Structure 1
Amino acid sequence: MKLLLSLLVGCLAWGAAQAQTTYRWIDPQTGQTVFSDKPPPAGVKQVSKKQLGAAAEGEESSLPYATRRAVENFPVVLYTSSDCVETCRLGRDLLNARGVPFREKMIATPEDYEELKRVAGSEPVVPILMVGKQTTRGVDSAAWNNLLDLAGYPKTAPYGFKPRGALEK
């Protein structure tokens, strides 16, 4: 019973710690940066407030620093279509195995097709991987891995990575 009670108390404490708010501001008297879990005194300007915890921070902020930098500098978009099933799944699997956050754009309208032609050239064939401004057609794991390596994406997914690739509307 004591073990169960201590486990419950530990879980509650951990949950409270995960939902903490941290404040950052510059102390007007000393000029030093202050980090605190309590709000700053009245009259302080330039206050940053941050919710800690995976749910509050969002998916992207839980990524390793190098991956976040790669996402900022070289976002990944996977262009697919409704009739691209197995090949596009292989492409998604490769990206998820490496832990690469990406957007999936399904080509469904004439406007989408025109966008795809601008991205990939006159005869676009899905899947097309776009890393930053570089593109490659079809699933060629060597070419995909080369583009992702050059952009600074991880070679393997970090622990706890959840597969991505939700379709864009």
Structure 2
Amino acid sequence: MRYLFTCLLIVLAAGASAETYRWTDTSGNTVISDTPPQGKAKGLSRLGGKGEPDDKLSFAMKRAVESFPVVLYTSADCPGECKAARDLLNSRGIPFTEKVMQKPEDFEELKQLIGDVFVPSLKVGSQRFRGFEAGAYNNLLDLASYPKSAPPGSKPAVGASK
């Protein structure tokens, strides 16, 4: 009896620490398994032994980030409005890329995006906004299903890129 109980504990312990995967198959069905998918799968995420995602982003946030990535265009000579735009994104806990306009190709990219060179500018998925207006930024983020506030204890989610 003791042997059987010990074996059961070992099996349960191994199952609790096993890695779990969640994805959507080609038919649109959500699959949760202890083996990764073979072939094409949408929305693959790895779950820990307790069924928790291995990073701190919620499922809704991950989905918004994948579908509607956020890019903030700034420059060194835009301290006030660019900081306000960055602060708004951080207050909502939005993972975003900050592109600091420095090179001619950076300016050309921004000109193609909004029609001229103006910072700050925000791109959420394929939507964009020229300048900073908190209401407009919040509207774009709400439409993309980003959360309205950062989770407790979260840290700013930005690293400037060139």
TM-score, normalised by the number of residues in structure 2: 0.69
Answer yes or no: is 1:133 the counterpart of 2:126: yes
What code does the residue aligned with 2:119 have? V
How well do the aligned residues superpose, as a CA RMSD in angstroms?
Answer: 2.7
Q: Offset of 1:22 from its aligned partner?
A: 2.1
Of the three residues 136, 144, 154, the one matched with 1:143 is 136
1:56-86, CA deviations, whole angstroms, 9 ceiling, x for partnerless residues? x4xxx31111111100000000000110111
Q: Secondary structure at the match of 2:109?
A: helix
Answer yes or no: is 1:83 the counterpart of 2:77: yes
Instruction: For structure 2, list consecutive stretches of 5 or more residues without a partner in the other structure.
Output: 1-16, 22-31, 39-45
- Report the number of matched residues: 127
Distance 1:65 1:119, change over 3 A: same
Is this contact kept in 2: 1:80–1:128, CA < 8 A?
yes
Q: Distance in 1 between matches of 2:112 and 2:19?
A: 44
- Residue identity (%): 51
Q: Distance in 1 between matches of 2:82 and 2:60?
A: 26
Partner of 2:19: 22
What code does the residue aligned with 1:96 have? N
Q: Distance in 1 between matches of 2:71 and 2:125?
A: 8
1:77-134, CA deviations, whole angstroms, 9 ceiling, x for partnerless residues? 000011011111100110011111100000100011001111111x221000000011
Of the three residues 94, 98, 101, the one matched with 1:100 is 94
Partner of 2:60: 66
Partner of 2:43: none
Is this contact kept in 2: 1:21–1:51, CA < 8 A?
no
Distance 1:51 1:155, change over 3 A: closer
Worse-superposed segment, 155-164 or 96-105: 155-164
What code does the residue aligned with 2:142 have? D
Q: Secondary structure at the match of 1:166?
A: strand
TM-score, normalised by the number of residues in structure 1: 0.66
Answer yes or no: is 1:161 the counterpart of 2:158: no
Q: Distance in 1 between matches of 2:103 and 2:113?
A: 15
Q: Secondary structure at the match of 2:19?
A: strand
Q: Offset of 1:145 from its aligned partner?
A: 0.5
Q: Distance in 2 between matches of 1:69 and 1:115?
A: 26
What code does the residue aligned with 1:92 have? R
Partner of 2:112: 118
Q: Offset of 1:51 from its aligned partner?
A: 8.1
Is this contact kept in 1: 2:20–2:48, CA < 8 A?
no
